[in-house]
Amino acid sequence: GALQGKRIGLYGPGWRTEEMSPETSSLYSAAIEVLASLGAELVENPFDQSGFAALASPTEFGDLRGDEAWVYEFEKFLEQIRPSDAENSIEELKADGVNLFDAGGPLNWVVSLFPVGAESLKDPDIPPDLSEFSAVRMDYRRNFSEVMEAQDLDVLVYPQMLVETPPASSNDLIRGSAVDEIDILGTPGVTVPAGYYESGAPFSLIFLGDLFSEPELLGYAYDYEQATLHRVPPANLVNAADFNSDGAVDLLDFERLRDGFGRRGNLRSGDANRDNFIDLADFVILKKNFGYGVAQPVPEPSALQFAGFAAILGWAEILRRRRN
């Protein structure tokens, strides 16, 4: 397998001084045994005495360096995600009554925690000064690369969370093992189910590597996942094209999309990709999923029916874009 003979760095205080809860530690130990059984060579606390952990600047909410650019990046996101939409800037959202950064808004923390965030809100098109963050990133990358090379590591495998993930209704903070570090580093991570806490909350591993190591990480993660098969899929998953929520994607869903095409809508009216507009993209999702959840074979719309409807949708899409 992909993990055979690979050198794996394990979580320790050299990376971050926060400790795992006893139950997390127990689950992590069990996962480590599996990694060893798959032929991996384990390296304890490889960042010991490297100075890596000392680079952190933790707050109650984690290491927030780099978040100074939140307002600017959000403005760019709005411009790029829907360039032809009327609401493609913070100012236009605000004009429509969507005040994300105001007191009580979901993004108010950006301007309340960062003076530069409040300043950026005055002119979101101007990027803030990130020279300090860039210097921190370079320090992190230099340290990370030196340790990976000196220890001859192929991958790091940590518990994704240091303690059990709190319920969604809780105000407790989620305590990750590497989120802040890889956000600053800009390096990839792949999470894999690795068991369950006594409460039923999931426990996961995160496979971490250097820049552009995604192919290798996916291979390692897949090797572990196939050896354990810990994940239990939720019983209430809803298919994106199941517009009437009856557990199947069939002609009834086809009819909903047909009737709603060309208009704004939601999942119930045929919006498979959740962009609040029913168009050709939703039809493609429906066609791909047609027959999902159907116990007995159902008469699929004929190729001619699909082709004809696709042609109609295509022309309608072209006309809509011309109007916009």
Both 112 and 214 in a single domain? no
Both 158 and 124 in a single domain? no
Establish if 193 belongs to a structural domain: yes
Both 166 and 309 in a single domain? no
Which range (2-6, 242-246, 280-284, 301-305) has the least confidence? Answer: 301-305
Both 314 and 291 in a single domain? yes
Q: What DSSP state is assigned to residue 163?
A: S
- The per-residue pLDDT for 293 is 74
Establish if 241 belongs to a structural domain: no
Establish if 166 belongs to a structural domain: yes
Q: Convert the pLDDT of each residue in 209-258 to its tens digit.
A: 999 999 999 999 999 999 999 987 766 667 888 988 888 888 888 888 88
CATH number of the domain that 212 lies in? 3.40.190
Both 174 and 255 in a single domain? no
- The per-residue pLDDT for 323 is 44
Domain count, the chain: 3
Both 148 and 46 in a single domain? yes
More confident residue, 182 or 101: 182
Both 56 and 138 in a single domain? yes
Both 283 and 315 in a single domain? yes
pTM over cut 0.85 = no
Both 256 and 313 in a single domain? yes
Which residues have CB under 8 Å from 203's CB, separation 6+?
A: 24, 27, 159, 160, 161, 164, 193, 194, 195, 196, 197
- The per-residue pLDDT for 200 is 87
- The per-residue pLDDT for 176 is 92
Establish if 165 belongs to a structural domain: yes
Establish if 49 belongs to a structural domain: yes
Establish if 243 belongs to a structural domain: no
Both 51 and 136 in a single domain? yes
Structural domain of 39: 7-60+132-228
Residue 305 has pLDDT above 60, yes or no: no
Q: Under a CB-based contact definition with an 8 Å cutoff, are residues 143 and 50 in contact?
A: yes
Q: Pick from 228, 263, 288: which residue ends a domain?
A: 228
Residue 158: in which H helix or E strand, if any?
strand 155-159
Establish if 237 belongs to a structural domain: no
Handedness of CA 320, 73, 174, 49 (dihedral sign): positive
Residue 270 and residue 257: Cα distance in Å, rounded?
4
Q: How confident is the model at residue 58 (pLDDT cuts 50, 70, 90)?
A: confident
Chain position carrying tokens 């869903």: 253
Kindly calculate the radius of gyration of the chain based on its CA atoms and give it in whole angstroms: 24
Q: Compute, in degrees rounded to 10, the torsion defined by CA atoms 267, 271, 277, 282.
A: 180
Q: Convert the pLDDT of each residue in 64-82 to its tens digit.
A: 888 888 899 989 988 887 6
Q: Pick from 129, 158, 175: which residue ends a domain?
A: 129
- The per-residue pLDDT for 23 is 98
Helices (H), the chain: 22-37, 70-81, 90-95, 108-113, 115-120, 131-150, 179-185, 214-228, 251-260, 280-289, 303-323
Question: Maximum distance among all alpha carbons in the chain?
Answer: 68
Q: Convert the pLDDT of each residue in 123-162 to its tens digit.
A: 999 998 889 999 999 999 999 999 999 999 999 999 999 9
Establish if 233 belongs to a structural domain: no
Q: Pick from 179, 197, 228: which residue ends a domain?
A: 228
Both 123 and 199 in a single domain? no
Both 88 and 107 in a single domain? yes
In percent, how much of the chain has pLDDT > 90? 46
Relative orientation angle of helices 22-37 and 214-228, to the nearest 10 degrees: 100
